[in-house]
Structure 1
Amino acid sequence: MSDTAHLVAGHSTGEAVTRAARIGGPDVVLTDEQVTDFVAEQLAAVDLDGKSVCVVVPDGTRSCPLPLLLSAVHGALSGRVSRLTGLIALGTHAAMGERELGAHLGCPEGGLEERYPGLTVLNHAWWEPSTFASLGTISADRVGELSGGLLHHGAEVRLNRAVVEHDVVLVVGPVFPHEVVGFSGGNKYFFPGVAGADIIDLSHWLGALISSAEIIGTRGITPVRALIDEAAALIPSRRLALCVVAQSGSGALHAASFGTPEEAWAAAADVSAETHVRYLDAPVKRVLSIMPEKYEDIWTAAKGFYKLEPVVADGGEVILYAPHVREISAMHPEIAEIGYHCRDYFTKQWDRFKGLHWGVLAHSTHLRGAGTWDEQHGERLRVTVTLATGIPEEVVRGANLNHLAPSEVDIEAFTADPDTLVVPRAGEVLFRLR
């Protein structure tokens, strides 16, 4: 192990305290050489010779220096393993084409074989039933235990068969504050990253019941993390993870950790909590979230709301400024029909909505934020959500959101306004009140 690597305690769901190797920390920026050496040292110490290995990596909606990481992994495993597969954890996002994959993995279109000889790269084809293998079920009673009584509903655990058809599965990806699970990463790359709809819907609806504002950035094992870990325990392959903490807005890394997904995630989440959370002394009346182009629709660009909702005053507003966004969701058009509503709008009219995809309902509540609903007063929402995008006004208002023409957004004027917080490259850093 290199001089800069050390052991840190993990937060395992089991009784024993586990440990992961980690390099870097909150106030560190790692060099490419440090990262490559760390990956090589960690993988050299694992019995992988002659084994088949599936490497699960994020899609383009997650920031991290993936070409650096995948090159390090490829260099450490090429010639040692019998088969090497890269699996893009789309969740339910759109598939990445050859040009997008090339840019994502650091090579020209069609140049994957030259950059990573022997590596087969697959999109997680979540729309194809043949993609999945069934690992078993989690009972309603067990879900009740894991959720603290919030939800009593069983689910079949289906996972991309590429994971279970390899001897070893290695998760490679970043950790950030997350609106469903607390902090992303680790076993979340399996569920929902390469999972079937049942467990995705269940986990996301559990997060919605707790609420995004309550769970986002919560350290340790949240009920949703406990559910995901329970599902991951059914995977027959050996599970490992390389979890990293990226410097938001750049390709640099603060830290990398290696171990089981539970261990490596816990070590990285501790660093993410110190680097990806900003604190304000008082709430703000308005936020202008400027969304990067990697968020191609509102389904993904909604992170500009999740990460800012906690610092907006009652009656305030979040403006998602994304002129490049042309649709609410390419993969989930039903969200435009349901619209965006608070949690109580659904739970208090459950017979009306329970037959829909719970993951879609969860996304709806996450973007609409806190509020109440009753038959007498209807829906009352804590903050206003405004889209300044390329989506037609009638579509935006039909989805129960406010509309603002992008041409009317004067970033300099908003920046000069003492009541407005302007956030460039929104979507990754969480803002909280002290």
Structure 2
Amino acid sequence: MSLLSQAVAPQGELLDEPTIIQTLEPLRGRFTGQKVLVLIPDHTRTLPLPQLFRLVADVLGDASQLDFMIALGTHPPMTDEHIRQILGLTEEERRDNYGHVGLLNHEWADPETLVSIGTVTQERVREIAGERWHPTLGGDVDILINRAAVEADGIVILGPTFPHEVVGFSGGAKYFFPGISGADMINVTHWLGALAGVRGTIGVKDTPVRALIHEAATHLGTPTTLIALVVQGGGLGGMFVGDYLEAWSAAADLSSERHIVWVEQPYRFILSVAPPMYDELWTAGKAMYKLDPALADGGELVIYAPHLEEVSVVHGHYISEIGYHTAPYFLNQWERFAHVPLGVVAHSTHVRGDGAWLDGQEVPRVKVTLASRIGPEECARLNLGYLDPDSINLEDYAGREDEGVLLVRKAGETLYRSRGDS
């Protein structure tokens, strides 16, 4: 199976519903009488999910069993009400029109939900990592995945592709690892990405982490079809349906055209507004990742998230212990942090950015400040700057690009990159 269908809207336009329906139509009848698992994102990704859920459920309506699973990775489980909300379903619609459709959370921490499909040997990880290899990546990697993926007759991945801090571009097989995987793959992929650094990874199509994810995916025997989406605003600028490698590749190419803003010079100060869909710093960190390549050495980035009160529901105790630091800080004191999951250490370095270790001291490349409901004492413990969000008037930062000041009103999905950093 290669690409079954595709549609791309002209720059500045969106695909209309008849075009979306036509692009999905080749899937009709491909799964008749089969048990189908559809993987979808949670609320931290922008896409017209209520529309797409209905259209995909319709086109797969002759499946013997149809389940939609939220590829949470290690994000907190969603309540039934929240799932209905992101799908745009009332209780009555859920009961009367979609009662036959399973709506499931991936539960990465429950071993009963996982099954091993093989191993990526340490030797193979080292080969894939290349110059990014470091002994902290550990040994062989057990490829644990939600058993629903193994028990299904067919898998359909429905998700957007954006520049991504860990893997280069999101989407595709990332919905397996870390989307519905166990801790080993989550930790190794994220730490490998951290060793490469955000600025060396984000917006790069072919990365070691993407290669590792694709390597692991070869161990899954369930036939997989990808509906790769390129989101613009609240709609679709493009969609590619078919083989999960080819559809993702095409979507990543389009995303590189539509989701990267090139600036002539890096900025000394960036006010990066994290939208409410990032309800903890674990995800609101994207307001840093997507702007880091456009921030000058010695500059400051403020994550403005006046709604945010939580660092991480799942991992907060570890983050509170280690704070936010650069990769050299951890690598030069590894014995202090070896007990912390690699994925958590990776998150810490992603938020803090690049740096160096000189004379036993950490020297960060930039300053990162948090303007949220997390108070100044906690920010100090986390090794982040603090700014009172109520003291900020966004308009004070608008239109000041010539002064080296950038305001980004919705950060987290569009990558900003300085031409001097390319």
Q: TM-score range by the shorter chain?
A: over 0.9
* 1:419-430 matched pairs, under 5 angstroms: 419-430=404-415
Correspondence list, 1:126-145, <5 A: 126-145=108-127
Maintained 8 Å contact 2:266/2:404: no
2:342 maps to amino acid: W
* Distance change in 2, residues 1:162/1:110 (3 Å): farther
Deviations 1:44-86 (A, max 9, x none): 3x631111100000000001111121211111111x2111111
The alpha-carbon deviation at position 394 of structure 1 amounts to: 1.0
- Corresponding residue for 1:9? none
1:121 to 103, 119, 129: 103
Q: Offset of 1:261 from its aligned partner?
A: 1.4
**3-state SS in 1 of match to 2:277:** coil
Q: How does 1:323-362 map to 2 (within 5 A)?
A: 323-333=306-316, 334-362=318-346
Task: Provide, for residues 2-21 of structure 1, a one-character-per-residue CA deviation record: whole Å limited to 9, x for no partner.
Answer: xxxxxxxxxxxxxxx96563
Question: What is the CA–CA distance in structure 1 between the aligned matches of 2:110 and 2:167, rounded to whole Å?
Answer: 26
Q: Which residue of 1 aligns with 2:207?
A: 222
**Structure 1 equivalent of residue 69 of structure 2:** 87
Do structure 1's residue 159 and structure 2's residue 145 form an aligned pair? yes
Q: Percent identity over the alignment? A: 43
Distance 1:95 1:340 in 2: 25
SS at match of 2:132: coil
Deviation per CA, 1:218-244: give whole Å up to 9, x if none: 02x211001001111111211111010
Partner residue in 2 for 1:76: 59
State the AA in 2 paired with 1:144: R
Q: How far off is 1:131 after superposition? A: 1.3
Equivalent of residue 200 in structure 1, options 161, 183, 186: 186
* Equivalent position SS for 1:70: helix
2:86 aligned counterpart, secondary structure:
helix
Aligned residue number for residue 379 of structure 2: 396
Unaligned runs of 5+ in 2: none
Q: Is 2:320–2:382's contact at 8 Å kept on the other side of the alignment? A: yes
In the alignment, residue 268 of structure 1 is paired with which amino acid?
Answer: A
* Residues 1:233 and 2:221 aligned together: no
Quote the offset at 1:25 in angstroms: 4.5
* 1:36/1:69 contact within 8 Å kept: no
Distance in structure 1 (CA, Å) of the matches to 2:169 and 2:154: 24
Q: In the alignment, is residue 369 of structure 1 matched against residue 353 of structure 2?
A: yes
Structure 1 residues without counterparts, runs of 5 or longer: 1-16
TM-score (norm. length: structure 2): 0.94
Deviation at 1:354, TM superposition (A): 2.4
Q: How many residues align?
A: 411
Q: Which consecutive aligned stretches of 4+ in structure 1 deviate over 4 angstroms post-superposition?
A: 17-20
1:284 to 254, 260, 267: 267
Contact 1:386 1:404 (8 Å CA) reproduced: yes
2:296 is aligned to: 313
Write the distance in 2 (CA, Å) between the matches of 1:427 and 1:26. Answer: 23
Distance 2:253 2:266 in 1: 25
1:2-151 mapped onto 2 (5 Å cutoff): 19=3, 21-25=5-9, 27=11, 28-39=13-24, 41-44=25-28, 47-78=30-61, 80-109=62-91, 111-151=93-133
Confirm or deny: 8 A CA contact 2:371 2:388 kept in the other structure.
yes
Q: If the length of structure 1 is used for normalisation, what is the TM-score?
A: 0.92
Counterpart in the other structure of 1:170:
156
Q: Distance in 2 between matches of 1:182 and 1:95?
A: 25
Taking a change above 3 Å as real, the CA distance of residues 109 and 286 of structure 1, as seen in their structure-2 partners, is farther
Give the drift of 1:355: 2.6
Alpha-carbon separation, structure 2, partners of 1:415 and 1:158: 47
